[in-house]
Structure 1
Amino acid sequence: MSERLQPGDTAPAFTLPDADGKDVSLADYRGRKVIVYFYPAALTPGCTKQACDFTDNLGVLADAGYDVIGISPDKPEKLAKFREKEDLKVTLVGDPSKETLGAYGAFGEKKLYGKTVTGVIRSTVVVDEEGKVERALYNVKATGHVAKIIKDLGI
Protein backbone atom coordinates (compact mmCIF):
# COMPACT_ATOMS: atom_id res chain seq x y z
CA MET A 1 0.00 0.00 0.00
CA SER A 2 1.48 3.32 -0.98
CA GLU A 3 1.63 6.29 1.36
CA ARG A 4 -0.95 8.97 0.90
CA LEU A 5 0.32 12.48 0.34
CA GLN A 6 -0.33 15.26 2.82
CA PRO A 7 -0.57 19.03 2.31
CA GLY A 8 2.95 20.48 2.33
CA ASP A 9 4.57 17.35 0.86
CA THR A 10 6.60 17.78 -2.32
CA ALA A 11 4.54 16.36 -5.19
CA PRO A 12 6.40 13.39 -6.71
CA ALA A 13 8.00 14.27 -10.05
CA PHE A 14 6.78 12.39 -13.10
CA THR A 15 7.28 12.26 -16.86
CA LEU A 16 4.63 10.20 -18.64
CA PRO A 17 3.40 9.85 -22.23
CA ASP A 18 0.22 11.72 -23.19
CA ALA A 19 -2.45 10.56 -25.66
CA ASP A 20 -0.12 11.53 -28.54
CA GLY A 21 2.89 9.73 -27.03
CA LYS A 22 4.58 13.03 -26.07
CA ASP A 23 6.19 13.27 -22.63
CA VAL A 24 4.41 15.39 -20.04
CA SER A 25 6.31 16.25 -16.85
CA LEU A 26 5.07 17.82 -13.66
CA ALA A 27 8.15 20.09 -13.95
CA ASP A 28 6.61 21.59 -17.13
CA TYR A 29 3.96 23.18 -14.92
CA ARG A 30 6.30 24.91 -12.45
CA GLY A 31 4.83 28.32 -11.63
CA ARG A 32 1.25 27.15 -12.29
CA LYS A 33 -1.19 25.31 -10.06
CA VAL A 34 -2.05 21.82 -11.26
CA ILE A 35 -4.92 19.52 -10.44
CA VAL A 36 -3.60 15.99 -10.95
CA TYR A 37 -6.36 13.43 -10.89
CA PHE A 38 -6.02 9.66 -10.95
CA TYR A 39 -8.68 7.41 -12.46
CA PRO A 40 -8.90 3.65 -13.03
CA ALA A 41 -9.54 3.35 -16.79
CA ALA A 42 -10.32 5.35 -19.91
CA LEU A 43 -13.62 4.66 -21.69
CA THR A 44 -15.47 3.49 -18.56
CA PRO A 45 -18.68 5.25 -17.39
CA GLY A 46 -17.43 6.84 -14.14
CA CYS A 47 -14.09 7.89 -15.59
CA THR A 48 -15.82 9.32 -18.66
CA LYS A 49 -18.16 11.37 -16.46
CA GLN A 50 -15.22 12.70 -14.43
CA ALA A 51 -13.10 13.56 -17.51
CA CYS A 52 -16.09 15.30 -19.14
CA ASP A 53 -16.72 17.28 -15.92
CA PHE A 54 -13.09 18.44 -15.89
CA THR A 55 -13.30 19.32 -19.61
CA ASP A 56 -16.56 21.26 -19.07
CA ASN A 57 -14.95 23.25 -16.23
CA LEU A 58 -11.52 23.72 -17.80
CA GLY A 59 -12.15 27.40 -18.58
CA VAL A 60 -13.21 28.17 -15.01
CA LEU A 61 -10.20 26.31 -13.62
CA ALA A 62 -7.76 27.88 -16.11
CA ASP A 63 -9.09 31.37 -15.30
CA ALA A 64 -8.30 30.65 -11.65
CA GLY A 65 -4.75 29.56 -12.62
CA TYR A 66 -5.19 25.77 -12.59
CA ASP A 67 -4.13 23.25 -15.23
CA VAL A 68 -5.54 19.72 -15.17
CA ILE A 69 -3.75 16.42 -15.79
CA GLY A 70 -5.55 13.06 -15.70
CA ILE A 71 -3.45 9.96 -15.02
CA SER A 72 -4.52 6.33 -15.54
CA PRO A 73 -2.65 3.08 -16.18
CA ASP A 74 -3.79 3.23 -19.83
CA LYS A 75 -1.45 3.29 -22.83
CA PRO A 76 -1.37 6.40 -25.10
CA GLU A 77 -3.42 4.67 -27.84
CA LYS A 78 -6.33 4.09 -25.47
CA LEU A 79 -6.06 7.63 -24.12
CA ALA A 80 -6.22 8.98 -27.69
CA LYS A 81 -9.41 6.96 -28.34
CA PHE A 82 -10.89 8.26 -25.08
CA ARG A 83 -10.03 11.86 -25.97
CA GLU A 84 -11.49 11.58 -29.49
CA LYS A 85 -14.65 9.72 -28.47
CA GLU A 86 -15.53 12.14 -25.65
CA ASP A 87 -13.97 15.31 -27.15
CA LEU A 88 -11.86 15.77 -24.00
CA LYS A 89 -9.69 18.86 -23.54
CA VAL A 90 -7.85 17.80 -20.38
CA THR A 91 -4.29 16.49 -20.66
CA LEU A 92 -4.42 12.70 -20.28
CA VAL A 93 -1.26 10.76 -19.52
CA GLY A 94 -0.67 7.04 -19.11
CA ASP A 95 1.21 5.26 -16.33
CA PRO A 96 1.21 1.57 -17.36
CA SER A 97 4.00 0.81 -14.82
CA LYS A 98 1.78 2.34 -12.08
CA GLU A 99 4.91 3.92 -10.59
CA THR A 100 3.46 7.44 -10.48
CA LEU A 101 0.10 6.13 -9.26
CA GLY A 102 1.96 4.46 -6.38
CA ALA A 103 4.08 7.54 -5.64
CA TYR A 104 0.90 9.60 -5.22
CA GLY A 105 -0.82 7.01 -3.02
CA ALA A 106 -3.37 6.41 -5.78
CA PHE A 107 -2.75 2.68 -6.17
CA GLY A 108 -3.42 0.02 -3.59
CA GLU A 109 -6.17 -1.83 -1.80
CA LYS A 110 -9.70 -0.55 -2.20
CA LYS A 111 -13.22 -1.82 -1.81
CA LEU A 112 -15.06 -2.65 -5.01
CA TYR A 113 -18.58 -4.01 -4.74
CA GLY A 114 -17.84 -5.20 -1.21
CA LYS A 115 -14.62 -7.03 -2.13
CA THR A 116 -11.10 -5.86 -1.35
CA VAL A 117 -9.13 -5.51 -4.57
CA THR A 118 -5.85 -3.90 -5.59
CA GLY A 119 -6.18 -1.14 -8.14
CA VAL A 120 -6.32 2.55 -8.88
CA ILE A 121 -7.81 4.61 -6.05
CA ARG A 122 -9.75 7.50 -7.59
CA SER A 123 -7.82 10.46 -6.20
CA THR A 124 -7.14 14.13 -6.80
CA VAL A 125 -4.03 16.03 -5.76
CA VAL A 126 -3.81 19.81 -6.07
CA VAL A 127 -0.21 20.94 -6.56
CA ASP A 128 0.79 24.58 -6.01
CA GLU A 129 3.16 26.72 -8.11
CA GLU A 130 6.16 25.52 -6.11
CA GLY A 131 5.42 21.82 -6.64
CA LYS A 132 4.02 21.29 -3.13
CA VAL A 133 0.82 19.39 -2.36
CA GLU A 134 -1.95 21.86 -1.50
CA ARG A 135 -4.69 19.22 -1.14
CA ALA A 136 -4.78 15.43 -1.45
CA LEU A 137 -8.19 13.79 -1.77
CA TYR A 138 -8.60 10.01 -1.88
CA ASN A 139 -11.51 7.68 -2.72
CA VAL A 140 -13.35 10.54 -4.41
CA LYS A 141 -16.60 10.04 -6.32
CA ALA A 142 -16.53 10.35 -10.11
CA THR A 143 -19.77 12.34 -10.15
CA GLY A 144 -19.91 15.78 -8.56
CA HIS A 145 -16.22 15.76 -7.66
CA VAL A 146 -15.21 18.61 -9.97
CA ALA A 147 -17.95 20.87 -8.60
CA LYS A 148 -16.74 20.07 -5.06
CA ILE A 149 -13.12 20.93 -5.95
CA ILE A 150 -14.20 24.25 -7.47
CA LYS A 151 -16.20 25.04 -4.33
CA ASP A 152 -13.40 23.92 -1.97
CA LEU A 153 -10.80 25.99 -3.83
CA GLY A 154 -13.10 29.00 -3.66
CA ILE A 155 -13.22 29.45 -7.45
Structure 2
Amino acid sequence: MSKLTPGDQAPDFTLTASDSSAQSLADLRGRSVIVYFYPAAATPGCTKEACDFRDNLNSLAASGYSVLGVSPDKVEKLAKFAADESLNFPLLSDPDHAVAEAWGAWGEKKNYDKTYEGLIRSTVVVDPEGKVSLAQYNVRATGHVAKLRRDLGLD
Protein backbone atom coordinates (compact mmCIF):
# COMPACT_ATOMS: atom_id res chain seq x y z
CA MET A 1 0.00 0.00 0.00
CA SER A 2 1.09 3.57 -0.50
CA LYS A 3 2.16 5.70 2.41
CA LEU A 4 0.02 8.60 3.58
CA THR A 5 1.30 12.13 3.06
CA PRO A 6 0.30 15.48 4.56
CA GLY A 7 -3.02 16.66 3.15
CA ASP A 8 -4.39 13.15 2.58
CA GLN A 9 -7.70 12.24 4.20
CA ALA A 10 -6.88 9.76 6.97
CA PRO A 11 -8.74 6.49 6.36
CA ASP A 12 -11.39 6.02 9.03
CA PHE A 13 -11.41 2.86 11.11
CA THR A 14 -13.15 1.19 13.99
CA LEU A 15 -11.02 -1.26 15.97
CA THR A 16 -11.36 -3.04 19.30
CA ALA A 17 -9.35 -1.44 22.10
CA SER A 18 -7.46 -3.14 24.90
CA ASP A 19 -10.45 -2.49 27.21
CA SER A 20 -12.72 -4.29 24.65
CA SER A 21 -14.47 -1.05 23.63
CA ALA A 22 -14.81 -0.02 20.00
CA GLN A 23 -12.65 2.95 19.03
CA SER A 24 -13.26 4.90 15.83
CA LEU A 25 -11.07 7.60 14.40
CA ALA A 26 -14.26 9.51 13.52
CA ASP A 27 -15.10 9.69 17.24
CA LEU A 28 -12.04 11.91 17.71
CA ARG A 29 -12.92 14.53 15.06
CA GLY A 30 -12.25 17.98 16.41
CA ARG A 31 -9.00 16.84 18.07
CA SER A 32 -5.57 16.16 16.68
CA VAL A 33 -4.75 12.45 16.90
CA ILE A 34 -1.39 10.70 16.93
CA VAL A 35 -1.87 7.19 15.51
CA TYR A 36 1.22 5.07 15.95
CA PHE A 37 1.71 1.57 14.57
CA TYR A 38 3.99 -0.88 16.36
CA PRO A 39 4.83 -4.51 15.53
CA ALA A 40 4.19 -6.39 18.78
CA ALA A 41 3.17 -5.62 22.35
CA ALA A 42 5.56 -6.47 25.19
CA THR A 43 8.68 -6.55 23.04
CA PRO A 44 11.62 -4.34 24.05
CA GLY A 45 11.32 -1.65 21.37
CA CYS A 46 7.53 -1.52 21.45
CA THR A 47 7.54 -1.31 25.24
CA LYS A 48 10.04 1.57 25.16
CA GLU A 49 7.93 3.44 22.59
CA ALA A 50 4.64 2.84 24.44
CA CYS A 51 6.14 3.98 27.74
CA ASP A 52 7.50 7.13 26.04
CA PHE A 53 3.98 7.94 24.82
CA ARG A 54 2.63 7.16 28.32
CA ASP A 55 5.17 9.46 29.96
CA ASN A 56 4.43 12.30 27.49
CA LEU A 57 0.66 11.87 27.31
CA ASN A 58 -0.23 14.71 29.68
CA SER A 59 1.81 17.27 27.75
CA LEU A 60 0.55 15.90 24.40
CA ALA A 61 -3.05 16.11 25.66
CA ALA A 62 -2.46 19.65 26.94
CA SER A 63 -1.36 20.54 23.40
CA GLY A 64 -4.57 19.05 21.99
CA TYR A 65 -3.37 15.59 20.93
CA SER A 66 -4.93 12.20 21.60
CA VAL A 67 -2.80 9.06 21.16
CA LEU A 68 -3.82 5.70 19.72
CA GLY A 69 -1.47 2.71 19.44
CA VAL A 70 -2.26 0.10 16.76
CA SER A 71 -0.75 -3.37 16.39
CA PRO A 72 -1.75 -6.74 14.94
CA ASP A 73 -1.89 -8.21 18.47
CA LYS A 74 -5.07 -9.73 19.88
CA VAL A 75 -7.10 -7.70 22.38
CA GLU A 76 -6.11 -10.01 25.27
CA LYS A 77 -2.39 -9.42 24.67
CA LEU A 78 -2.97 -5.67 24.41
CA ALA A 79 -4.96 -5.65 27.67
CA LYS A 80 -2.11 -7.41 29.50
CA PHE A 81 0.48 -5.08 27.94
CA ALA A 82 -1.56 -1.98 28.89
CA ALA A 83 -1.97 -3.22 32.47
CA ASP A 84 1.67 -4.33 32.88
CA GLU A 85 3.01 -0.97 31.65
CA SER A 86 0.25 1.28 33.13
CA LEU A 87 -0.51 2.64 29.68
CA ASN A 88 -2.95 5.55 29.75
CA PHE A 89 -4.13 5.61 26.13
CA PRO A 90 -5.99 3.12 23.93
CA LEU A 91 -4.18 0.24 22.26
CA LEU A 92 -6.10 -1.04 19.25
CA SER A 93 -6.12 -4.52 17.75
CA ASP A 94 -5.71 -4.79 13.97
CA PRO A 95 -5.29 -8.59 13.62
CA ASP A 96 -5.88 -8.72 9.86
CA HIS A 97 -3.66 -5.60 9.44
CA ALA A 98 -6.30 -3.97 7.20
CA VAL A 99 -5.91 -0.60 8.93
CA ALA A 100 -2.11 -0.82 8.82
CA GLU A 101 -2.33 -1.55 5.09
CA ALA A 102 -4.72 1.37 4.48
CA TRP A 103 -2.35 3.69 6.36
CA GLY A 104 0.79 2.47 4.57
CA ALA A 105 2.18 0.85 7.72
CA TRP A 106 2.24 -2.72 6.39
CA GLY A 107 4.74 -3.84 3.81
CA GLU A 108 8.12 -5.26 3.00
CA LYS A 109 10.64 -5.37 5.81
CA LYS A 110 14.21 -6.59 6.03
CA ASN A 111 15.77 -8.07 9.12
CA TYR A 112 18.99 -10.07 9.30
CA ASP A 113 19.13 -10.30 5.48
CA LYS A 114 15.62 -11.76 5.31
CA THR A 115 12.78 -9.99 3.50
CA TYR A 116 9.20 -10.46 4.67
CA GLU A 117 5.86 -8.67 4.99
CA GLY A 118 5.11 -7.07 8.32
CA LEU A 119 4.16 -4.01 10.28
CA ILE A 120 6.35 -0.97 9.64
CA ARG A 121 6.81 1.13 12.78
CA SER A 122 5.04 4.33 11.77
CA THR A 123 3.37 7.41 13.21
CA VAL A 124 0.70 9.51 11.52
CA VAL A 125 -0.71 12.73 12.97
CA VAL A 126 -4.28 13.54 11.97
CA ASP A 127 -5.64 17.08 12.29
CA PRO A 128 -9.08 17.93 13.76
CA GLU A 129 -10.67 17.76 10.27
CA GLY A 130 -9.35 14.24 9.64
CA LYS A 131 -6.47 15.18 7.32
CA VAL A 132 -2.92 13.91 7.70
CA SER A 133 -0.65 16.66 9.00
CA LEU A 134 2.48 14.53 9.51
CA ALA A 135 3.40 11.00 8.44
CA GLN A 136 6.58 9.23 9.54
CA TYR A 137 7.49 5.68 8.47
CA ASN A 138 10.29 3.34 9.59
CA VAL A 139 10.70 5.31 12.80
CA ARG A 140 13.01 4.20 15.59
CA ALA A 141 11.33 3.16 18.84
CA THR A 142 13.92 4.81 21.06
CA GLY A 143 13.72 8.58 20.99
CA HIS A 144 10.76 8.67 18.62
CA VAL A 145 8.40 10.57 20.92
CA ALA A 146 11.02 13.25 21.60
CA LYS A 147 11.60 13.65 17.85
CA LEU A 148 7.84 13.73 17.23
CA ARG A 149 7.41 16.46 19.85
CA ARG A 150 10.14 18.52 18.11
CA ASP A 151 8.54 17.92 14.70
CA LEU A 152 5.18 19.09 16.06
CA GLY A 153 6.77 22.23 17.56
CA LEU A 154 6.00 21.16 21.14
CA ASP A 155 9.54 21.53 22.46
TM range (shorter): over 0.9
Paired residue for 2:84? 85
Letter in 2 for 1:107: W
Q: CA deviation at 1:97?
A: 1.1
1:130 is paired with a residue of what secondary structure?
coil
Q: CA deviation at 1:115?
A: 1.9
Paired residue for 1:129? 128
Q: CA deviation at 1:113?
A: 2.4
1:129 is paired with a residue of what secondary structure?
coil
Q: Distance in 2 between the 1:112 and 1:54 partners?
A: 25
Gaps of 5+ in 1: none
The answer to whether 1:103 aligns with 2:81 is no
Paired residue for 1:139? 138
TM-score (norm 1): 0.98
Q: Distance in 1 between the 2:119 and 2:70 partners?
A: 10
Letter in 2 for 1:152: D
Paired residue for 1:112? 111
Paired residue for 1:34? 33
Gaps of 5+ in 2: none
The answer to whether 1:9 aligns with 2:5 is no
Q: Distance in 1 between the 2:140 and 2:112 partners?
A: 14
Q: Distance in 1 between the 2:111 and 2:37 partners?
A: 16
Work out the number of aligned pairs and report it. 154
* Conservation of the 8 A alpha-carbon contact between 1:51 and 1:90: no
For residues 88-111 of structure 1, give each alpha carbon's deviation from its aligned partner in whole angstroms, at most 9, with x where no partner exists.
112100000110000000001012
Paired residue for 2:22? 23
Aligned CA RMSD, in angstroms, stands at: 0.7
Question: Which runs of at least 4 in structure 1 moved beyond 6 Å after TM superposition?
Answer: none
Letter in 2 for 1:97: D
